[in-house]
Amino acid sequence: MTSRRLSYVLQQQVHLYVPEANELRDEIDYYVEAERQIETELARRQIRA
């Protein structure tokens, strides 16, 4: 399961108004963005190879 898919699942499970939920969503967003950047870089390297 990718972190993107996991983020959608977690966001559905965590109550929207709990302050910790906002922190969790921010953390998930950070990891989702990092994963996207890694995928982009790996794809770029494969094109060069």
pTM exceeds 0.95, yes or no: no
* Angstrom distance (rounded) from CA 3 to CA 39: 12
Say if CB 21 and CB 15 are below 8 A apart: yes
User: 10-residue block means of pLDDT along the chain (49 residues)?
Assistant: 70 69 83 91 88
Residue 40 tokens read as: 């982009």
Count of beta carbons in the 10 Å neighbourhood of residue 6: 13
Write down the pLDDT at residue 25. 80
Write down the pLDDT at residue 49. 67
Write down the pLDDT at residue 44. 93
